[in-house]
């Protein structure tokens, strides 16, 4: 059916004959744009858009991450942008005078069938991307479209079609993910508003269910588990049957969106105290001259921000790189305690104990109905103001009540190690704190107890003495907890 690709223009012509003037109709799929965060939009115009001489937040961000049609691969970021790593074996001139570079791959790997660009990683042309006019996949000879100003030498390493993986990731993301998680990963796609809980907003770089310690980001493996197995109890479905390379591409793209969002936040954080619209207005009110503030902003953009733009990226890269190392992973120091009635009883004691106080949120029976769920919580974004509705909230300001452990539904996975990690590192973004200082044996006891809750015939049937239940200090029904 080779005729079919030509059907779309035909169909379009048919459909649009009445509305020809409307909208740019393009053949490129998923044409869209990244939204800027509220933080960026709260800055004064000059900080946002830049001054005559110096770039503002938007440009700094776009220069490094691009827009959906033209994604940029900022080499600082620990992202597998995709593409085939090769090295230059030989540089020749073709008969027509254009430069021909013969590329080789490492043994065991093969040259890609197509090549659009070559990006140089080392040598005189480092950082340059050159278009390929002709590509011979058998010999590895690439005829370059333009002659580089710098000299290409044998031994230079380069990448064919750098960023191809990221583009693949974007296409997959737009097809499978964007209607919930949004084009820019802000968790605000068109379908998102009908969901409880809300889809993740990647831009904080915070992921809830991960196997790394409380200070670390999620590893690639963690993200992969979520994509593969879904999150029971939410609308995040399992994408188990996606191919491995598709999984990889999607995860890299999610990490890309996450880094873009975080980088934007960091840039905004540099500026917001002095140059947000509100700060600017109050400064003007307190007598400062507009022109002086803007002059100062211009200098700040020219020196401080230009300087920190790079180091902020380094910091960001480091945190993401660490997440995939052993250093970040949670490894219990002791194997899981045998799942015996004694262990479960011990677990329940700990669960009810004053020090751990799990029942304060999860309830005495694990039904997720502890006193905190009916208390009014402080809204950190609004100072001392309380939320309108009772219960616990996450950092995205959504009501996020503690899990009902009786349902046997474990969002981050039901393996003992998953529950261990949840208790050890807490759940970032939510009010589930980290219990990393609790002895690992004790955590295992709690895990054993928690896993037994759905099968209890009556509360505490794991064999807890009544005195233990009394030991828990049950707060008065409605208290306003003191936010830390």
Partner 1 sequence: MKKFWALFFFFWPTVAIISCLIAPSRGWWFPSAPMSRTGIQIDGLFYLILIIVSITFVGTQYALGYALWMGATKDSASRAHFSHGSHKLEIIWTIVPSFILVFISLSQLDVLAEIRVISKFPEQATKIAEVTARQFEWRIRYPKPGEKLTTEENPGDLYYVNELHVPTGKPVIINLRTQDVQHAFFSPQLRVKQDAVPGLVIPVWFDVLEVGNYDLVCAELCGWGHYKMKARIVAQSQSSVDKYLKELEAEQNEDGTKSEAAKSDE
Partner 2 sequence: MATVSPALDAHGHADDHSHVHHEQSFISKYVFSLDHKIIGIQFLMTTLIMLMVGGALALAVRWQLAFPWENMPVVGQLFGLFRSEGGQISPEFYTMLFTMHASVMIFLVIIPILAGAFGNFLIPLQIGTDDMAFPALNMLSYWFMWPAILCFGCSFFVAGGTAGPGNGWTSYPLLSDLPTAAPGSGSSQTFWLIGLTLVGVSSMMGSVNYLTTIINMRAPGMTLFRMPLTIWSMFITAILQAFALPVLTAAGFMLVFDRLGTIFPTDIHSVFFIPANIIVNNSAPTVGGGQPLLWQHLFWFYSHPAVYIMLLPAMGMVSDMLSCMSRKPVFGYKPMVYSMAAIAGLGFIVWGHHMFTSGMNPALGMTFMTSTMMIALPSAIKVFNWIGTIWGGDLRFNAVMLNCSGFVAMFIVGGLSGIFMAAVPVDIYFHDTYFIVAHFHYVLFGSTLFGVFAAIQFWFPKMFGREMNDTVQKWHFALSFIAFNFTFFPMHMLGIAGMPRRYADPYLHGYLEHLLPMNRFITLSAIVMGFAQFLLLGNFFYSIFRGKKVGRNPWNANGLEWTAPSPPGHGNFDIAPVVYRGPYEYSSPEAEAIGQDYILQTVPHVKGVAKFAHH
Contact residues toward partner 1 (CB under 8 A) are: 176, 191, 211, 229-230, 232, 235, 237-238, 240-241, 330-332, 334-336, 408, 414-417, 420-421, 444, 451-452, 454-455
Helix or strand (DSSP H, E) at 426:
none
Residue 104: C-alpha distances to residues 95, 134, 150, 163, 388 (Å):
22, 16, 21, 19, 64
Smallest gap from Cβ 155 to partner 2, in A, equals 43
- In the complex with partner 1, the residue whose CB is nearer, 64 or 440, is 440
Smallest gap from Cβ 342 to partner 1, in A, equals 16
Smallest gap from Cβ 26 to partner 2, in A, equals 7
- In the complex with partner 1, the residue whose CB is nearer, 48 or 411, is 411
Angstrom distance (rounded) from CA 229 to CA 452 = 22
Residue 383 contacts which entry, partner 1, partner 2, none (Cβ below 5-8 A, type-dependent) = none
- In the complex with partner 1, the residue whose CB is nearer, 354 or 415, is 415
Smallest gap from Cβ 452 to partner 1, in A, equals 7
Beta bridge partners of 399: 393
Residue 213 contacts which entry, partner 1, partner 2, none (Cβ below 5-8 A, type-dependent) = none
- In the complex with partner 2, the residue whose CB is nearer, 190 or 454, is 190
Q: b vs e for 201-215, b when ≥16 Cβ sit within 10 Å of the residue's Cβ? A: bbbbbbbbbbbbbbe
- In the complex with partner 2, the residue whose CB is nearer, 146 or 374, is 374
Residue 64: C-alpha distances to residues 81, 219, 454 (Å):
13, 23, 49
Cβ neighbourhood burial of 10 (10 Å; 0-12, 13-18, 19+): exposed
Angstrom distance (rounded) from CA 343 to CA 449 = 7
- In the complex with partner 2, the residue whose CB is nearer, 20 or 476, is 20
Residue 154 contacts which entry, partner 2, partner 1, none (Cβ below 5-8 A, type-dependent) = none
Residue 415 contacts which entry, partner 1, partner 2, none (Cβ below 5-8 A, type-dependent) = partner 1
- In the complex with partner 1, the residue whose CB is nearer, 112 or 230, is 230
Q: At what angle do helices 220-229 and 244-275 cross, to 10 degrees?
A: 120
DSSP annotation of 210 reads: -
Closest by CA to 266, choosing from 209, 216, 319, 214, is 319
Smallest gap from Cβ 242 to partner 1, in A, equals 9
Residue 26 contacts which entry, partner 1, partner 2, none (Cβ below 5-8 A, type-dependent) = partner 2
Residue 310 contacts which entry, partner 1, partner 2, none (Cβ below 5-8 A, type-dependent) = none
Radius of gyration of the chain (CA): 28
Angstrom distance (rounded) from CA 136 to CA 142 = 6
Q: Which residues of the chain form contacts with partner 2 (CB under 8 A)? A: 1, 4, 7-8, 10-12, 14-17, 19, 22-26, 29-33, 35, 68, 174-175, 178-179, 182-183, 189-191, 193-197, 233-235
Residue 115 contacts which entry, partner 1, partner 2, none (Cβ below 5-8 A, type-dependent) = none
Sign of the torsion angle spanned by Cα atoms 403, 407, 411, 413: positive
Angstrom distance (rounded) from CA 230 to CA 233 = 9
Smallest gap from Cβ 128 to partner 1, in A, equals 42
Give CB contacts under 8 A, 24+ apart, made by 207-211.
207/428, 207/429, 208/411, 208/412, 208/427, 208/428, 208/429, 208/430, 209/411, 209/412, 209/413, 209/418, 209/422, 209/427, 210/412, 210/421, 210/425, 210/428, 211/329, 211/330, 211/417, 211/418, 211/421
- Integer distance in angstroms from the first to the last C-alpha of the chain? 65
Beta bridge partners of 132: 144
Residue 31 contacts which entry, partner 2, partner 1, none (Cβ below 5-8 A, type-dependent) = partner 2
Please count the other Cβ atoms lying within 10 Å of the Cβ belonging to residue 193.
Answer: 10
Smallest gap from Cβ 335 to partner 1, in A, equals 5
DSSP annotation of 154 reads: T
Smallest gap from Cβ 212 to partner 1, in A, equals 12
Residue 408 contacts which entry, partner 2, partner 1, none (Cβ below 5-8 A, type-dependent) = partner 1
- In the complex with partner 2, the residue whose CB is nearer, 8 or 382, is 8
Smallest gap from Cβ 364 to partner 1, in A, equals 21
- In the complex with partner 2, the residue whose CB is nearer, 12 or 154, is 12
Please count the other Cβ atoms lying within 10 Å of the Cβ belonging to residue 331.
Answer: 11
Smallest gap from Cβ 224 to partner 2, in A, equals 19
- In the complex with partner 2, the residue whose CB is nearer, 24 or 97, is 24
Residue 331 contacts which entry, partner 1, partner 2, none (Cβ below 5-8 A, type-dependent) = partner 1
- In the complex with partner 1, the residue whose CB is nearer, 167 or 452, is 452
Residue 102 contacts which entry, partner 1, partner 2, none (Cβ below 5-8 A, type-dependent) = none
């Amino acid at each position: 059916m080779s005729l079919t690709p030509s059907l779309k223009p035909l169909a379009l012509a048919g459909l649009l004959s009445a509305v020809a003037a409307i909208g740019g109709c393009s053949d490129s799929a998923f044409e869209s744009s990244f939204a800027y965060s509220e933080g960026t939009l709260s800055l004064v115009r000059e900080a946002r858009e830049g001054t005559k001489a110096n770039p503002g937040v938007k440009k700094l961000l776009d220069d490094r991450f691009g827009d959906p049609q033209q994604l940029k691969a900022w080499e600082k970021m620990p992202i597998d942008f995709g593409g085939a790593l090769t090295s230059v074996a030989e540089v020749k001139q073709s008969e027509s005078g254009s430069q021909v570079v013969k590329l080789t791959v490492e043994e065991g790997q093969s040259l890609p069938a197509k090549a659009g660009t070559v990006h140089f990683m080392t040598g005189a042309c480092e950082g340059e991307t050159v278009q390929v006019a002709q590509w011979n996949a058998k010999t590895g000879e690439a005829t370059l479209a333009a002659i580089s100003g710098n000299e290409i030498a044998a031994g230079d390493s380069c990448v064919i079609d750098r960023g191809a993986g990221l583009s693949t990731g974007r296409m997959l993301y737009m097809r499978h993910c964007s209607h919930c998680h949004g084009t820019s990963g802000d968790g605000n796609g068109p379908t998102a508003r009908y969901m409880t809980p809300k889809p993740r907003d990647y831009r904080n770089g915070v992921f809830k269910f991960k196997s790394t310690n409380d200070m670390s980001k999620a590893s690639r493996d963690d993200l992969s588990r979520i994509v593969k197995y879904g999150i029971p109890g939410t609308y995040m479905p399992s994408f188990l049957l996606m191919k491995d390379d598709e999984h990889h591409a999607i995860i890299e793209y999610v990490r890309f969106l996450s880094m873009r969002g975080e980088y934007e936040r960091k840039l905004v954080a540099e500026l917001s105290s002095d140059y947000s619209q509100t700060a600017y207005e109050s400064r003007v009110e307190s007598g400062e001259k507009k022109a002086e503030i803007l002059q100062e902003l211009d200098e700040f953009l020219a020196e401080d921000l230009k300087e920190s733009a790079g180091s902020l990226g380094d910091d960001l890269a480091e945190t993401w790189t660490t997440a995939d190392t052993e250093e970040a992973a949670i490894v219990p120091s002791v194997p899981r305690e045998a799942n015996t009635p004694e262990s479960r009883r011990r677990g329940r004691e700990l669960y009810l104990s004053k020090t751990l106080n799990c029942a304060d949120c999860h309830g005495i029976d694990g039904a997720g109905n502890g006193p905190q769920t009916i208390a009014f919580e402080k809204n950190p974004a609004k100072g001392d103001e309380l939320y309108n509705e009772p219960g616990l909230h996450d950092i995205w300001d959504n009501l996020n009540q503690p899990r009902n452990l009786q349902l046997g539904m474990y969002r981050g996975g039901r393996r003992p190690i998953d529950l261990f990690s949840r208790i050890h590192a807490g759940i970032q973004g939510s009010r589930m704190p980290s219990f990393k200082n609790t002895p690992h044996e004790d955590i295992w006891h709690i895990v054993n107890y928690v896993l037994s809750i759905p099968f209890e015939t009556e509360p505490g049937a794991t064999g807890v003495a009544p005195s233990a239940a009394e030991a828990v200090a049950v707060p008065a029904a409605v208290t306003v907890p003191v936010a830390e």
